[in-house]
Structure 1
Amino acid sequence: MAFSSGSTGGPMANINVTPLVDVMLVLLIIFMMTAPILSYPIDIDLPQRSLNPPPTTVEPPPPIRLRVDASGQVFWNDSPTPLSALRNMMETEVQRDVNNQPTLEIDVNEDADYGILAKVLASAKNAQMIKIGFVKK
């Protein structure tokens, strides 16, 4: 007898989980198909392998220390600099030696306006600066 349990003769109290498993498998397939669509690609310029690497005996230039304080004032190697002059100064540094650029070390106060940092980074990008780092204190 399919509906009796042992010798008691009463109905079985087991739950049929087959429909539940079927629904879960369908949901799993739906989520697996939609998950790759939700990712957004980010363009990154990765370094390419070179068969002839540049000589490493060249001494790197001293880094440029760029500091943004809480009031939004920008300091180029500890001297106050207007934001409008940054791009020209960066372009001058890049043009000295395009293959051996100085590292731009940016130190930003945590209370500084993000718009100032965005303008500094835009100036660095427009000046073709490659080596940009952030200083954490």
Structure 2
Amino acid sequence: MAMFSDGESEDLVSEINVTPLVDVMLVLLTVFIVTAPLLMNAVKVKLPQASAEVAVTVPKTAHISVTDAGEVFLDQQNMPLDTLTKELGVLKQKHDPAVEIYADEHAQYGVVAKVLAAIQRAGISKFSFVMSPESRK
């Protein structure tokens, strides 16, 4: 509330005085700056030392190709469909491979489905179909 002398009119001042607000905020900021380091190091612990090198493991990838004639290749080696599950099982025991399937666009659906079934029977869960990008005309 403003005090007025005799000659002044009684107009209300509609401005907010932010000075007390700024003072309170600066005090709170100072308190937080002082107490934050104390809260971080509440318990003294001697941490072990380790090297900064990160071990990156690249998953092994098996490549299965299916030609338009129905031939199946495992890592560029011709493989009959009945032995594909066994060979994939051997790979699964050595390491958990990811399988990339390269199927010709004219390959029979049944052959590709049998390849997928062989991958599933071998217990491999990571597989993907590889395609070439479309060319824009």
TM-score interval (norm. to shorter): 0.5 to 0.7
Runs of 5+ consecutive residues of structure 1 not aligned to the other structure: 1-55
Find the partner of 1:114 among 104, 109, 128.
109
| 1:122 partner amino acid | A
Root mean square deviation, CA, Å: 1.5
1:127 has 2:122 as partner: yes
Q: CA deviation at 1:79?
A: 1.4
Q: CA deviation at 1:85?
A: 0.7
Q: CA deviation at 1:130?
A: 1.2
Runs of 5+ consecutive residues of structure 2 not aligned to the other structure: 1-53, 133-137
TM-score by length of 1: 0.54
Alignment deviations for residues 34-75 of structure 1 (CA, whole Å, 9 cap, x no partner): xxxxxxxxxxxxxxxxxxxxxx83523431111000000001
Alignment deviations for residues 77-121 of structure 1 (CA, whole Å, 9 cap, x no partner): 111111111000111111123xxx111000100110000011010
What SS does the corresponding residue of 1:136 show, helix, strand or coil?
coil
Alignment of 1:1-137 (within 5 A): 57=55, 59-97=57-95, 101-137=96-132
Matched residues in 2 for 1:94 and 1:58: separation? Answer: 20
Larger gyration radius, structure 1 or structure 2 = 2
4+ long deviations beyond 6 Å: none
What SS does the corresponding residue of 1:104 show, helix, strand or coil?
strand
Matched residues in 2 for 1:123 and 1:129: separation? Answer: 9
TM-score by length of 2: 0.54
